[in-house]
A and B are shown apart, each in its own frame.
Chain A
Amino acid sequence: MIDPRIYEMFREIGEDLFTAQLISSHGGNLSIRLGDRVIIKRRGAQLGRLKPHDLIETRLDKNDSNVVLASTELLVHRAIYLNTPALAVCHCHPRTAVAFSFSRDELVPIDNEASYLLKKIPVVTEEFASGTPQMANKVAEALKNYKIIMLRGHGSFATGQTLDEAFHWSTCLEESCQMELAAKIINEPFIEYRGMSGSYSQF
């Protein structure tokens, strides 16, 4: 039995992800870690319209029968929990950030908030960029040192102590990329306003 308070957290963040256009109708997934258990979105459920039965509890370290119901990205969520201190994972498809990931190996924000909060977002490449052990390992490895990373051409994976926190990093990334895109469209010389900004790419 999943605590109604936990369901409510998933429902709110899921709805917000869809409203913010960070996922398609059935895309993205959310999970939290409860000790040696993981609660994750049901495969095929709409994040924006989660029902209590759309949350699946399964083991962290090995499969049980519930894995047949869990999100196809369970593998990567597990790898993240096993390799980082994360207690929550938010995976979504922030479209501007994905667009930048086609041509860049890292995203270094130029706006104030993301400079403060994220510093740098590495872009990870994997040919089979969905649900494979190779992809899971690469994403988890990158998240050892960054709270949010991009999987090239696919989407972002963000970690936090809470879903709220991981969601925050996700929206922050997309907002930052939209600002950079707007600045590119304006196409005027960038005036640096931050101290030691050259060091962000070293973060």
Chain B
Amino acid sequence: MNGWNGKILEIDLTKQTHKESPLDIEMAKQFIGGRGLGARLLWDLVGPDVDPLSPENVLIFTNGPLTATGYQTSNRFSVTTKSPLTGTVLDANSGGYWGMQFKKTGYDVLIVRGKAEKPVWIEIKNSEVTFHDASELWGMRVFALTEKLGQNNNKRNVLCIGPAGENLSRIAAIMNDRERAAARGGPGAVMGSKNLKAIVVEGSTRPEIMDKERYKFLMYETKKLLAASPLTSQALPEFGTVVLMNIMNNIGALATRNHQQTQFEGAEAISGEELTEKYLVKNQSCWACPIGCTRISKTEKVEGEGPEFESTWAFGAQCGIDDLPAIIEVNALCNDLGLDTISAGSTIACAMELSEKGYLDSDLRFGRADQLAPTVEAMAYRRDIGTELADGSLRLATKYGHPELSMTAKGMEMPAYDPRGLQGQGLLYATSNRGGCHMRGNMIGLEVLGLPKLIDRFQVQGKSAFVILNQNSNAAIDSLVICKFTNMGVADEYFARVLGAVTGIPYATGELIKVGERVWNLERLYNNREGFTSKNDSLPPRLLTEAPTDGPSKGWVSQLEPMLKEYYRTRGWDENGVPTPKKLAELGLENLL
């Protein structure tokens, strides 16, 4: 078998047993790996009767046929589960080294089910699986634990949860390689609910490549294209993802103070330029990545990875804070505690607004950098005010009678890009299968950066087609699994050809995108089965009714309703947002119903 290893490892934590089963190759052809394969397996394994934090929920770790081949950014893995934050299908993926090492154990998929009686950690060395007592490790933070379990980037890699996951925070991340995170939607809480502290992998299997000459040529061309793109060869290596801060602020699409404004007067102070000039030690790469967007930053108190743009925004503009050292430090703290930075920052911002308006009795206030670290600590350990913030902004705002102040879609906190200044991005958030997310399709390329070409960000008619193509393309890339930043320099046609060269199965570009469409529709079916309807394809009322009073997006609100109607029609769904039998048959999904 080329590309895929052909094997699934299943672990039952309740019984402390494991078994190996063959990968269904027909399923693999249809869903490739990563997010797609995870969604397909979850469909069979976890139904609507299962509580996300019960032993019946599963964690499905997947890699893809390109993983560990050495193709640019082929280091990632995906984890799929039912989200404890949103109740939707969830996949979160992460870079670094763990995904590559996991593939080298000889498995394509790891399914973890049940619940251990007491804390355990698992060690997988090729096909050898060992359960270890983790009683003494329970309570440890991520950095110390990662070191204790023997992290060695190219040889032995540690994936774990921190205190946030142990305490079942619904915004807890799964961390790997110390500071990489599969963060969104609370997969760390699922791991915590199973009493599973860590998974350590060591492997020596390298995937087989069918057409080595063709693969070598495509690697060579990809290298050239990534070097030729100013985004992947200059902007991201030099400034990291925070390069977007000033760009988004300048166009009036930087959500500020819990989305009360679309421009932040302190943006320059928390920009990529500022980070590079004053706090950057060096940049760093994941395995097999020539881009190197990772920041190693240093303040008087911490030195470590990050912060990314979204984290800087969440604790910065969204909280009205322009203190970059404080943001760097709270980002590091989230990594150490195992918390999703976007949801953590945006939940604090929600609490700040609730408090300022007198709905919540707390001293949290916009602009108070000194409150960030103590609040995040309290969230991870469920102490004091943190008890309520630990489960995200929607549960918090609902409890205090103002759910409209939660800046979420399907219960997940949205990232930095304000939909009032980016019509397509708003539609994307509203229709995202895992909730408010910028990684399930990204309109910033088209609406802001001009990738592949610039379109009018305020245009409404026809916007759904772009959103859908992006969603399908992203689902395909997530199923490969590679880093989406490669897509800033390399088009989908290369990925299809690389997939063909590695597996020996010809995939035309259109077929690869069709895989993405299949994955998207399957995820939608899953959510529909969970009870989600078109009513859940929504945005916070603020974004639909409160137009910015100044700046480049002045007077605009999200025109969601007409875009959504067009979106359903374009997707081949009925007016209630349900995939039609015709569409399901076209995608080979008709047998699932």
| Interface positions of A (Cβ within 8 A of B) | 2-3, 5-6, 32-36, 83-85, 87, 116, 119, 144-147, 160-162, 164-165, 168, 195-196, 199, 202-203
Contacts and interface: CB of A to CB of B under 8 A. Distances in A.
Nearest to B463: A34
Contact of A5 (B453, B456, B492, B569): B456
A84 B472 CA distance: 12
B217 A199 contact: yes
A20 to B, nearest CB: 17
Contact of A34 (B461, B496, B572): B461
Contacts of A83: 510
A35 B465 contact: yes
B462 interface: yes
A116 B466 contact: no
B225 interface: yes
Given A34-B566, A119-B221, 5 more contacts: A35-B569, A164-B453, A164-B454, A196-B217, A199-B217
Interface string B482-499: 000000000111001100
A195 B218 CA distance: 12
B513 interface: yes
Contacts of A33: 465
Contact of A195 (B220, B459, B572): B220
A164 B491 CA distance: 16
Given A162-B453, A165-B452, A165-B453, A87 B461 contact: no
B224 interface: yes
Contacts of A34: 461-462, 464-465, 566, 570
Contacts, number: 85
A31 to B, nearest CB: 12
Contact of B460 (A3, A32, A85, A146): A3
B116 interface: no
A201 to B, nearest CB: 11
Nearest to A202: B214
A33 B569 CA distance: 13
B469 A85 contact: yes
Contacts of B2: none
A6 B453 contact: no
A168 B451 CA distance: 13
Main secondary structure of the interface of A (DSSP, over half): loop
A2 to B, nearest CB: 8
Contact of A145 (B455, B462, B473, B509): B509
Given A34-B465, A35-B570, A84 B453 contact: no
Contacts of B137: none
B446 interface: yes
Contacts of A2: 461
B453 A161 contact: yes
A-B pairs, 9 with minimum CB distance: A35-B570, A164-B453, A199-B217, A3-B461, A144-B508, A85-B513, A162-B453, A34-B462, A165-B453
A87 B466 contact: yes
9 contacts: A3-B460, A6-B461, A34-B462, A34-B570, A119-B221, A145-B496, A161-B466, A196-B217, A202-B214
Interface of B: 213-214, 216-217, 220-221, 224-225, 228, 446, 452-456, 459-462, 464-466, 469, 472-473, 491-493, 496-497, 508-511, 513, 566-567, 569-570, 572
A164 B569 CA distance: 25
Contacts of B460: 3
Given A3-B462, A147-B493, A164-B453, A85 B570 contact: no
Contacts of B224: 116
A161 B510 contact: no
Contacts of A116: 224-225, 228
Contacts of A144: 508-511
A28 B570 CA distance: 27
Contacts of B496: 145
A35 B220 contact: no
B460 to A, nearest CB: 7
Contacts of A3: 459-462
Contacts of B491: 147
A35 B513 contact: no
B452 A160 contact: yes
Nearest to A85: B513
A54 to B, nearest CB: 17
A3 B216 CA distance: 46
Most buried by B among A84, A161, A165: A161
Contacts of B508: 144-145
Contacts of B492: 85
A30 to B, nearest CB: 14
B578 to A, nearest CB: 16
A161 B569 contact: no
A134 B472 CA distance: 29
B453 A32 contact: no
Contacts of B455: 162
Contacts of A5: 456, 459, 461
B233 to A, nearest CB: 14
Contacts of A147: 491, 493
A161 B497 contact: no
Contacts of B466: 87, 161
A36 B452 contact: no
B469 A161 contact: yes
Contacts of A85: 469, 472-473, 492, 509-510, 513
Given A33-B465, A84-B509, A87-B465, A161 B446 contact: yes
A168 B492 CA distance: 17
A34 B429 CA distance: 20
Nearest to B224: A116
B559 to A, nearest CB: 12
A87 B424 CA distance: 15
Nearest to B228: A116
Contacts of A161: 446, 452-453, 466, 469
A187 B509 CA distance: 37
A87 to B, nearest CB: 5
Most buried by A among B496, B508, B572: B508
Nearest to B492: A85
A107 B459 CA distance: 37
A148 B461 CA distance: 26
A60 to B, nearest CB: 10
Nearest to A35: B570
Contacts of A195: 220
A203 B500 CA distance: 12
A145 B493 contact: yes
B179 to A, nearest CB: 34
A160 B453 contact: yes
Contacts of B213: 199
